[in-house]
Structure formats: C-alpha cells, structure tokens
Structure 1
Amino acid sequence: MRQSISYFAFLFSFLLAPLQAQEIHLDSLDNFLEKVRQDFEVVGLSVGIVRNDTVIYAKGFGEREIGKSAAVSKETTFGIGSISKSFTVLTLGMLVEEGKIDWDDRVVDYLPYFELYDPYVSNNMTIRDLLTHRSGLPEVSGGSLWYHSDLDRVELIKGLKYLEPESGFREKPAYQNVMFVVASEIVKEVSGMSWDKFLQTRVLDPLKMDQTTSLAADREANNNLAQPHIWDEDFKKVAIVQEKGDNLAPGGFIYSSAKDMNNYMRLLLNRGVFQNDSLVGENILEEIFKPQFLYQISGKPFGNEFSSYGLGWWVTPHKGHKIIEHSGGIDGMSAQLFMIEDMNLGVVILTNVSKEPASFLIKAKLMEWIMDDPAFDFYQRGLEFRANRFDRLREEAANLKPKPNTRPSLSVQDYAGHYHDRMYGDISINQLQSGELELSFSRTPLFTGKLSHWHYDTFKIDWEDIRVPDGFLTFNFDSEMNITGFSLDQDNLLDVDFDELTILRKN
C-alpha cells in the first residue's frame, strides 16, 4: 500500500507541475569542462548530450593516460560502471516483450542452482527483485567474490548462499551488484547464448555502438582506450591496470564512449526506436522507468522523498520533470548519465579518474543550467570538500600509531598456515625466506600483502597493489591460545566489504 500511494503521488507531482526549463549553455560548456579537468586533476573526460533524437554535443578533453600525448575524443572508451546494469535490464526487457519471461517469474525456475541464505527468499525471489536491490542483503554484498577474482559468473552466483541478510526480503533497499549477474544468466538460459553475445547482437550492433563491449579482451584490443587513474600515497594521479571484470560485466563492467552512449540515450528517449528501427517496445521502457521501490538517491535537490528505483535506474520527480539517472564507478573510472524524459534530453559524462567529485559536479552544473536552479551549484563546495578530504586523510595517517611496548603472543612462524572462508575459499599466510609473513587470497592475486607487527596480535597489511589501502589483520584465539582465525580491519574497496568474510584456521 505504501508503494502504491508513493507511486500515485509521484505521478501527481509530475503531471501538475509546470514544464519549464532553460537551454544548456553549449557555448560555455567547453570552457567549464576544461576548468573542471584542471581544478580536480581529471586526466581525461568525455561528454555526450542528446535532445529530440539528435546529438547536440560529443567531445573529449585531456589525455587517455597521464603523461602521454594520446588525446581523449568522443570515441574514446571509458568504464561506465553501474550504468551497465541498465543494459542487463534492457536485454531482459527484450525477452519479456517476446513472451519468453515475465518480470515476476521466479529466479529458480530458470536457474535451479540459485540459492541464498534464507530458503524462502531463494524460492520466491523474482527477476523484478533482482533488479531493484531488495534482496535483504547488506550493501554491495559479494564484492569479495568478484573483485579481481578468477571466479566466473556461475561460480560467483553459487557463493551467494553464504551471505547473511541484514533485513527482511523486500523490506528496504540495499544496493547490489551481484544480483545483476544472476539476471544475466537468466538471459543466457532463455536465449541459448551468452549474455555478452545477446547484448552484442540485440543491442550494441543495432545501435552502432562500435566502441562498446562487456568483454575485457575486446576492451584491451581497442586502440582508443582510456586508462584508469587513482591516487598514490602522495595523492598524485597514477595510471593502473584495469581488472578483467568479465564476471561482473552485467552489473558494472561495460566500457563505452560518449559517441556510443549518445545512441543508447536516443533509443531510450525515443520510445525504443533508433533510426526508424524498433528494438524494444515502448511498454517495456515504461515499465523499466516506472518507480518500483522507494529508494532515495541523495538529498535535495538531486533526490527527494519520492525518489525511487525503477528497473536498473533511479527515478526522481523534480519541479514537473521526470529525471532518470544512474552513476557508475570502477577502479580509476567514474561516470554519470541522466535523462529528463519530458524534455527528451540525455547527458552522459565519462572520466578516467575515481574518488574525485568531477563527474558529479559536471552533472550538477548541467542540471543548474537546464533547470535554471542555483540550488544545483555545488562547485565551490566540491573544491572545499576535495581540499578538506586531503587534509583529513593526511591527519588520520599521522595519528595512526600502534600501542607501544607490545609483542605478539606467538612466534612469527606460528601465525603462518592455511585459512578458509566458507564463501570465498582458501586464504594463506606464508612465512617468506626473509622471515616476513605474506597474506594471499587464493582466487584474488590482487589481495596479496606483507604483514608487519603493529601491536599485540594485530599486524599491518602492506598490500602489493596500490589500489588497496593498507589495513590491519588481527588473529583470534580460543581459551588455550590456539589460533582460530583472523579478522580484517580494512577500508572498503570498490564495493568490497571484508566484514562479510569469516576467516577460520584450517586443521
């Protein structure tokens, strides 16, 4: 009942408010984008804008890789992160239109091996549930399974049964990635082809999205590829090697360009038609863009009490306009896409840096211009946030000190051994010839790091890869001082929460 009332309130606000807006200042946009690039040390970015089924803007700025001369163009490919989810929804919508599936079909009817912690949820979760973040699991559950791991999509899905829920099924939203991987396997099961091939033949090829791919091998073969960038320990931008990401492509690892994404937005805004070719029915898109579950994207002015999640999209009414949007982020990449349905207007913003507010501030400035609303002016706050963040991180690092005059309970070699988490698998601590301890996760080479004593039975982790911030490992004991396992005190990575692991020593 609450959802029905909210939905009608959404429609009421949308229908009665005046439809007024200003034009985008295209003559000022180039200068603004270059200013953002300089102010926030954005290595490269690309922006595309469509209106009334016409491309009105598509440009690149900066470099594909820091310190190199290769320029970003409208054809340069970037990671679009979680905007990938909308492509998975679209492939499912095509099967719904063909009568091969229904949004409210049970997942287990297509994937009998699908299992969650609660048998009731396993047996009753529907395709619609997969796409609306209402499984009851904690935020971004399963990140330790897919992040830089060699697990394939089916192996990833089979590990989900060990994730314990934190709320009731369909009780409240909590953002997920892995459920979109489950959804993609339904496409594979029903269509008889991989999700990647279905996406390519049914979506990307007809839309002439020639620079877009869900496969790492194709991405890396592209000679116009933006490289991801992160901060090093001195807060300087450095390029990194992007992870393969194929196992999470349906939820977060499509790569695309501003030029290609313009075609995608034209399809979505033109009721499923692209260049007179109907790829998906208008009724399917209406369902996709319909509020399914109350889920506030952020505070005002970007979100409000009527903000909801559709199927793979956030939907918000704002002063008579229906805003459809999603952001995306992977290591070293950040993206924003928003569409204003009644204006037939869409914007995509792609950058090859992460942990910077640049893509958000570009979105905010465009919203300020479009809505003629200074409430969207966040630029100065963005600059202050960035400066304060650096100061805070430096202060936190300076204040982080071990307790003095402590020693470990055991000799170093006694901590070495084989450990295990029932969801993830094997994790080892080995003593190297140097005498140091080394932590390594069997399915994730990126999670390898040296251990040095910090205090008591806590060791500091110096991870080998720069994208993983230093963390801490504390050994746990039983009453007879036998090691039972260890716990990780680690800042969350990109959608990875180490608290979901219960790591025990193997006998």
Structure 2
Amino acid sequence: MKNPVEALTRLGPIINQIASISGIPGVSVGVFHEGEYHLPYRVSFQAFTAFTCGVLVHEGLLDWQSPIRSFLPEFRSRVSEVQELASLVDLLSHRTGVPGGESLYFHAQPILNDSDIISTFAELPPLHPFRSQWLYNNLGYGIAAMAMSRQTGKQYEELLETRLIRPLKLNRTGVNYDTHGMKDVAKTYMIADEKEPVENSRPFFSAGSPMAAVGGITSSVDDLLVFYREVVHELLHQ
C-alpha cells in the first residue's frame, strides 16, 4: 500500500454505508502504516486489559492457562467445567458459554456492585457448552481484573498505569479520565422514543473497580494508534 491515505479515501463510501447501517452520525478511521500514523480510529478498550494481563503473564505473576480459581478460589459457576477449568484465556476471549449481564453495570450509576461480580457470574445459566463458541460476557473481564489485583496487590487502575500507559507514554488515556472542560471529546447518543438523539451518559466506575477493565477507560485516537503499533510489533517479533 504505497499511499494509505488515498487507499483509505477510496474506502469512504463503504465506511459511510457502515455508519448509516449502524445509525451513527460519524466515525473516525485510521491506519498505522510503516511507522507512520494516518488518521485516527476507534477500537474496543478491552484490548488494554488483555495487554496488561499479558504483561503480568510475562512477569510470571499470572498464567494464561491455569484455572482462574488458582488465583481466585472464590470463583464459581453453575457449570462445573467453567468453575473448575475456566482460565484467563477463556474469560478474555468470551468462550465460557455463559452470557453476560451488561445491563447491570453499563449505566451512569451501575446497578452491580464490585462485591457482586463473582456471585452474579455464578448465577448466570449457560447458553452454550464450555469452550464451544464465542459468547459475549464482560463480567469475565471484571473477574480477570480481580485476579490481576489479587496476584499483585495493586488495583486495576494502577496496573494499567504502570504496565501500559507510562511505558507507552500515552498522554490522554486512563480510567475515568477527566475530560471536563475539553472541547474535543466524543460523546455517545441513543435514539429515544421521540426519535431524537439523546446523550447517553458513559458508565462511571469507582477508583479501583474491577469493572473499569470493561468500560472505564478513556483514550484518544493518537494514543490508540501508539498502542496498536506496539501490539503489531509484539505480534511480529514474539
């Protein structure tokens, strides 16, 4: 790809079509190409959690394949296989077969307390056999964050800061990052019954909450490109 900007421009109609189907007014798209940034783009922040977890695995503080109960003995599930065998990989790749309870914590004031994460997961009935297919469950990320904290004695927010944000010199990334007074901040909206867009308050997770590993991170498109440059580099050189 000799001219990534030109190539990305040609994708404009397709990107606009995707935005139209999704019902969103706009989307930022970007490319990292041969050491240079070309426009910003948007991505899930769960990768930040998985990356930080991977650093702890590299440091010997966690293990990808060990049962999560080896780090959190109180972990439970209705499914005996999940309870005894589910690992960090299973939780982070959404393959436990247990559905999530997103409506419990994706609110401006989450209904789910941190102390309820494991007990809530334990009561969720399975929809698919363990490790048979992908099924979204963000509680797994909260549980993974709990394991990270248990093994290190540090809160998720501090682990993210010391293992990812500072080493990569990310300037506008953090848990519950203060965007007050900033003008260049993207907001989320939903369509109400009146068919008018209404601003949707982002979830607020208290300092140290494991559920911040799911949706409590704020970042900028420049920081995301720095992060994914590192991800690609590690994939190519591992």
TM-score for both structures, normalised by structure 1: 0.40
Pick closer, same or farther for the CA change 1:28–1:111 going to 2, 3 Å.
Answer: closer
Alignment-derived partner of residue 29 in structure 1: 9
Whole-Å separation in 2 of the counterparts to 1:101 and 1:242: 31
Whole-Å separation in 2 of the counterparts to 1:30 and 1:170: 39
Report 1 or 2 for greater relative contact order, CA contacts < 8 Å, sequence distance ≥ 6: 2
Whole-Å separation in 2 of the counterparts to 1:153 and 1:46: 33
Amino acid across the alignment from 1:270: H
Q: 1:225 aligns with which of 182, 185, 189?
A: 185
SS in 1 for 2:39: strand
Give 1:22 deviation, angstroms: 6.8
Q: 1:259 aligns with which of 215, 219, 222?
A: 222
Residue 132 (structure 2) pairs with residue 156 (structure 1): no
Give 1:158 deviation, angstroms: 2.3
Residues paired across the two proteins, number: 228
Q: 2:37 aligns with which of 55, 58, 71?
A: 55
Residue 129 (structure 2) pairs with residue 168 (structure 1): yes
Whole-Å separation in 2 of the counterparts to 1:255 and 1:166: 32
Whole-Å separation in 1 of the counterparts to 2:127 and 2:50: 25
Pick closer, same or farther for the CA change 1:55–1:190 going to 2, 3 Å.
Answer: same
Give 1:267 deviation, angstroms: 0.7
**CA contact 1:55–1:262 (8 Å) conserved in 2:** yes
TM-score for both structures, normalised by structure 2: 0.81
Pick closer, same or farther for the CA change 1:189–1:282 going to 2, 3 Å.
Answer: farther
Alignment-derived partner of residue 494 in structure 1: none
Matches within 5 A, 1:138-287: 138=99, 141-148=100-107, 149-215=110-176, 218-221=177-180, 223=182, 224-245=184-205, 248-271=211-234, 282-283=237-238
Amino acid across the alignment from 1:221: H
**CA contact 1:146–1:156 (8 Å) conserved in 2:** no
Pick closer, same or farther for the CA change 1:239–1:43 going to 2, 3 Å.
Answer: farther
Pick closer, same or farther for the CA change 1:107–1:42 going to 2, 3 Å.
Answer: closer
- Deviation readout 1:285-338 (Å, 9 max, x if unpaired): xxxxxxxxxxxxxxxxxxxxxxxxxxxxxxxxxxxxxxxxxxxxxxxxxxxxxx
Give 1:112 deviation, angstroms: 1.6
Matches within 5 A, 1:71-82: 80=43
Structure 1 unaligned spans of 5+? 1-20, 60-77, 273-280, 284-507
Whole-Å separation in 1 of the counterparts to 2:10 and 2:95: 40
SS in 2 for 1:238: strand
User: What RMSD over aligned residues (CA atoms) do the two structures have, in Å?
Assistant: 3.1
Whole-Å separation in 2 of the counterparts to 1:234 and 1:186: 44
Pick closer, same or farther for the CA change 1:208–1:109 going to 2, 3 Å.
Answer: same
Pick closer, same or farther for the CA change 1:31–1:121 going to 2, 3 Å.
Answer: closer
SS in 2 for 1:270: helix
SS in 2 for 1:221: coil
Structure 2 unaligned spans of 5+? none
Whole-Å separation in 2 of the counterparts to 1:121 and 1:239: 38
Whole-Å separation in 2 of the counterparts to 1:55 and 1:219: 25
SS in 2 for 1:271: helix
Pick closer, same or farther for the CA change 1:164–1:257 going to 2, 3 Å.
Answer: same
Alignment-derived partner of residue 72 in structure 2: 111
Q: Which has the larger radius of gyration?
A: 1
Alignment-derived partner of residue 46 in structure 1: 28
SS in 1 for 2:38: strand
Give 1:201 deviation, angstroms: 1.8
Residue 48 (structure 2) pairs with residue 87 (structure 1): yes
Give 1:198 deviation, angstroms: 0.7
- Deviation readout 1:156-190 (Å, 9 max, x if unpaired): 22221111112222223222211111111111111
Pick closer, same or farther for the CA change 1:119–1:29 going to 2, 3 Å.
Answer: same
Structure showing the higher strand proportion among its residues: 1
- Deviation readout 1:96-147 (Å, 9 max, x if unpaired): 1112221111111111221111234212211221122221214xx2224323
Pick closer, same or farther for the CA change 1:145–1:50 going to 2, 3 Å.
Answer: same
